[in-house]
Amino acid sequence: MEGRIPLIGERFPEMTVVTTDGKKELPKDYKGKWLILFSHPGDFTPVCTTEFVEFAKKHDEFRKINTELLGLSIDQVHAHIKWMEWIKENVGVEITFPIIADSLGKVATKLGMVDPEKGSATVRAVFVIDPEGVIRLIMYYPSEVGRNINEVYRAVKALQLSDKQKVVVPGNWPENSILGNKVIIPPVATYKDALERKASSQEGYDWWFKVKEIKE
């Protein structure tokens, strides 16, 4: 993986990072938990402030699904701390998760978070890392567009459901316009399986599009 950014399905690269909660070893310190690592262009910027407030407000819900949050930008620890204080004093929301101080940009560069057209500022990247340290989802947003935190939460829940129930999850789940909260049975692997599924009375639209209800 040397010389390129990590991809979905690969292990998150081991690294030591400095955060507002002290040093952390990634991904080891989060083993057994899902981790959302997300970068922002910079402290004391309006869109980033709105994102951090939304992440903080939803932190308890993330924790209920065994998921932790970890921010990052190319700023120093003291800047993160002052920004966290500003948010608490002016918006009334406490930032309850640590922020990586990647002042030299080494972590952001390794993870492909740096926007080459905007100097050292990071894009709005999201890495979802599973309890075994494997990267399961990557999102990139430009600096001009704030993220939908509910979508990040939905994506983690969908991944967890897929792992647990061995299913695949439709668009806009759990409010898909044709399936509602139902999920999709994974594709068949052989011709024999296709014939068996075609003869099955299982709910669906065709042998390759079978669905079922699930209980979380």
Place of tokens 């920004």: 83
The number of helices, as runs of H, and strands, as runs of E, in the chain is: 6, 10
| Residue 54: active-site member | no
152 Cβ contact partners less than 8 Å away, ≥ 6 residues apart: 36, 38, 126, 128, 139
Out of 48, 128, 129, 179, the active site residue is 48
DSSP state of 134: B
Placement of tokens 């599973």 in the chain: 130
Residue 215's contacts (CB-CB under 8 Å, 6 or more residues apart) are: none
Task: Show which residues are catalytic.
Answer: 48
